[in-house]
Chains A and B, each alone.
Chain A
């Protein structure tokens, strides 16, 4: 069976990288970067995920079909997130139809 065998050294190197990234992301949590905290945390998480997927899960050495399947999954998740978030956060853009009479009123603003 001709499957690619990843050397142990590579696995250990990825492991150490993952530990470093974990320490990094935990450390950054104590630094005030405002909105960037979330961005940095997610970027680090995505990096860790890519390391696990490509090396631990052998996707770097897998067929094109496997890669397409994985990309498709994240794309679809993205669809769910994008369209739903678009609705939730543009609902209040519609001005209230105040001249429609008292029986119809605008939805109350979301509590923040």
Chain B
């Protein structure tokens, strides 16, 4: 029975008999059919539901990080000199490198999805693993930065006693506020990356078992959406934390 109100996407000029066959799910492959959960009518519905579900989850993530961005915007507006000074204390080379690394991981993730769509199992696994390597590299560099900040006595609440002379208009509490945001936002971002690495581990294991094909790759695509979102958060964190500190 066709799904209504929007009928399934069918090629132009398909004969009526074939229409019925397709809408009864006989047009989709055996492979796709065995992965359709019982509550769904067909694989298409499942794919669309999964994708919409991930997008809505990303909406919640936008609002989750968004609260932090809003707070950051307000305090930056109130304590500009302190935020600019704090920004200058961050390592711009490591930040830029990390940005490039994460963008590369987004490319490999997109290529992983492409491999799945074109049924190339080995390429899929390779690109997933590459994405994980880039992700781990990012986290390694981040950890290195965190250790640096600890050594420089710039960790709010736990070890905050910067040795640098504070410029005019910068107070210690305001500088600590900047570093609160630096740590909270990048740590929350890093946590999301770690979760992403976990998801990709599961995908690699499943891909090696031959779970995915050109007809069934929704989990790859959906995980890709999550990973690209994590990349986008960093695309904003990088300039807001590292770049607008008056480094001239």
A residues engaging B (CB < 8 A)?
1-3, 5-6, 8, 11-12, 14-15, 18-19, 22-23, 25-26, 28-32, 37-38, 41-42, 44-45, 48-49, 52-53, 55-58, 62-63, 65-66, 69-70, 72-74, 76-77, 80-81, 84-85, 88-89, 110-112
Smallest CB separation, B224 vs chain A (Å)? 7
B172 proximal to A (CB < 8 A): no
- Chain B residue with Cβ nearest A26: B96
Whether A29 and B243, one on each chain, are in contact in the complex, defined by CB atoms closer than 8 angstroms, is yes
- Known contacts A15-B106, A25-B243, A41-B239, then 9 further A-B pairs from the complex at CB < 8 Å, ordered by chain A residue: A2-B9, A3-B117, A6-B110, A8-B114, A23-B96, A38-B244, A41-B240, A69-B56, A74-B62
Please classify how large the interface on chain B is, using the bins under 10, 10 to 19, 20 to 34, 35 or more: 35 or more
**Would you list 11 pairs from A and B whose C-beta atoms are within 8 A, ordered by A residue?**
A8-B114, A11-B111, A14-B107, A38-B244, A52-B106, A56-B109, A73-B59, A77-B70, A85-B73, A88-B74, A112-B78
Kindly list chain A residues whose C-beta atoms are within 8 Å of the C-beta of B9. 2
A63 to B245, CA, bound (A): 40
**Which of B70, B174, B235, B245 touches A80 (beta carbons < 8 Å)?**
B70
Inter-chain contacts of A84 with B (CB < 8 A): 70, 74
Is B4 part of the contact surface with A, judged by Cβ < 8 Å?
no
Contact of A81 among B70, B106, B235, B245 (CB under 8 A): B70
Return the CB mask of B21-36 against A: 1 if under 8 Å, else 0.
0000000100010000
Of chain B, the residue at the smallest CB distance from A22 is B99
Chain B residues contacting A63 (CB-CB under 8 Å) are 48
Across-interface contacts of B228 in A (CB, < 8 A): 52-53, 56-57
* CB–CB B92/A29 < 8 A: yes
The number of inter-chain residue pairs (CB within 8 angstroms) is 148
Separation of A6 and B69 alpha carbons in the complex (Å)? 32
Q: Does B186 contact A (CB under 8 A)?
A: no
Main secondary structure of the interface of A (DSSP, over half): helix
A101 to B118, CA, bound (A): 77
Those 4 A-B pairs whose CB atoms lie nearest each other, nearest first: A41-B239, A29-B243, A73-B59, A77-B66
| Distance in Å: Cβ of A14 to nearest Cβ of chain B | 8
Cβ–Cβ contact B62 & A11, under 8 A: no
B21 to chain A, nearest CB (A): 16
Bound Cα distance from A57 to B48, whole angstroms: 14
Cα-based distance from A30 to B174 in the complex (angstroms)? 24
